[in-house]
Amino acid sequence: MLNQQELLLHYIDECMGSMRRAPDTWGSPESLELQALQLMELRSIAVRPVMFQRNHREMMRIYHGFVAKLTDGDPSFLLSSVLSESGRIEELPEMLSDLYAEVQARLPPEDLFRDHDIVLELSLDKGSEPRFSAVCAYYENFQKAMRNILRATAKKTGKSAKDVKDHKDALQAATEYIIPEFRVVRDEEGTKMQVSLLQPNKGQLTFDRDTYAETSVRKAIADALSVTQWASQETPNIQALHEMFPDDAKRKTMAVQALRIIPEKGVREIRVGGRLIGETEPVKLTASQAIKLVPVLKEGESARQFSHSGTVRAIDLDQKWFRLRYNENNEIRCWVPGDPDALLQAAAAMSRKERIIVIGDVYRPAHKRPFVDNAIVRNAA
């Protein structure tokens, strides 16, 4: 079944073909030409919606250049009138076909990751239906992660309190993204939800603040993605991460914020790309990267024994953790890196609303939420 864009493009192709085969059915030469131009304009909108908003004169510039070749550089005439005056009006259908081919070649469909500032593509688990709430939740996590990284950077500028506030305001504005387009794409692999993000209007910021903010945002995104790429290795070398981020506090901040943007249950993988990121290919994020970041959070921290009973409030089988509520209102994430049975036991307890006992090592990193590692699950008596 064709989607709306494919259906429109098929219709335009059929009309253009008909104009070439039976031009008289479309009215006078002028009417034929104007209808053809309108169809070409519609095509440019359909395949390049964001680029069309940025420059809606692209197609007409191609047309004027096409006419100028026949008029010694004067693009102000209609093609039909030029051909009529030279006694070549019968060539109009063929020339409109040539023009259409040129428009198709010079205005190819938008490349999602090449033509947008930032693109978030969520690939859902097979059988999952797209929900806007999933996109909103991930976008919120992505934005929070970037802002937390930027906030940590702004605190270390060493400038006056006013300068730091101005910089923070600029960073806040730089992450208030505009969302020009949202797509749902279905293919053989399943369903993808694609969100395009544009940077805010730069005219709202002074040149100095805007340059600072844009550079900082680029760096924040690049740093967060470099951590996830490190975690995508089968056995990541933590020393390599030390070389990327020598400062202990920054390394842990990056690990915590990278965890925010790694997909959770219901999302098979996420690709992040775009012009702001600068990668030739989008960076792939998968749930399996999450467990690789736990050792980074544990570095230099002293463990204490954890032993509490409670109820399971959430679980992610792919990331290998569950959330335990204990002592009435306390909640803590419990990582189970090498014991799938413990995860299944926690999942069964959650479905039956039964209490469990969790034993493990609790870590309390400075300024970070505590978590339990190597959790052991037992049935509560």
pLDDT digits (tens, 9 = 90+) for 232-261: 999 999 999 999 999 988 899 999 999 999
Mean pLDDT score, 111-115: 81
What is the 3-state secondary structure of the chain? CCCHHHHHHHHHHHHHHHHHHCHHHHCCHHHHHHHHHHHHHHHHHHHCHHHHHHCCCHHHHHHHHHHHCCCCCCCCCCHHHHHHHCCCHHHHHHHHHHHHHHHHHHCCCCCHHHHCCEEEEEEECCCCCCCHHHHHHHHHHHHHHHHHHHHHHHCCCCCCHHHHHHHHHHHHHHCCCEEEEEEEEEECCEEEEEEEEECCCHHHCCHHHHHHHHHHHHHHHHHHHHHHHHHCCCCCCHHHHHHHCCCHHHHHHHHHHHHHHCCCCCEEEEEEECCCCCCCCCEEEEHHHHHHHHHHHHCCCCCEEEEEEEEEEEEECCCCEEEEEECCCEEEEEECCCCHHHHHHHHHHHHHCCCEEEEEEEECCCCCCCEEEEEEEEECC
* pLDDT surpassing 50 at residue 135: yes
**What pLDDT is stored for residue 167 in this prediction?**
67
| Residue that wins the pLDDT comparison between 284 and 381 | 284
* Confidence category of residue 122, pLDDT binned at 50, 70, 90: very high
**What pLDDT is stored for residue 206 in this prediction?**
38
**What pLDDT is stored for residue 113 in this prediction?**
85
Most confident region among 174-188, 204-218, 325-339 by mean pLDDT: 325-339
3-state DSSP assignment of residue 336: coil
Nearest-10 crossing angle of helices 132-154, 248-261: 170
**What pLDDT is stored for residue 207 in this prediction?**
38
Mean pLDDT score, 208-226: 78
**What pLDDT is stored for residue 334 in this prediction?**
96
User: What is the strand order of the sheet 118-124 is part of?
Assistant: 178-187, 190-198, 118-124, 267-273, 283-286
Q: What is the mean pLDDT of the chain?
A: 87
| Beta-bridge mates of residue 321 | 316, 335
**What pLDDT is stored for residue 132 in this prediction?**
86
What's the pTM?
Answer: 0.73
* pLDDT surpassing 80 at residue 101: yes
* pLDDT tens profile 57-81: 999 999 999 999 888 888 888 999 9
**What pLDDT is stored for residue 205 in this prediction?**
38
| Residue that wins the pLDDT comparison between 212 and 253 | 253
**What pLDDT is stored for residue 204 in this prediction?**
40
* pLDDT tens profile 262-279: 998 889 999 999 887 876
Residue pair 93/32 in contact (Cβ under 8 Å)? The answer is yes
Give which of 105, 96, 80, 84 is closest to 21, Cα–Cα.
Answer: 96
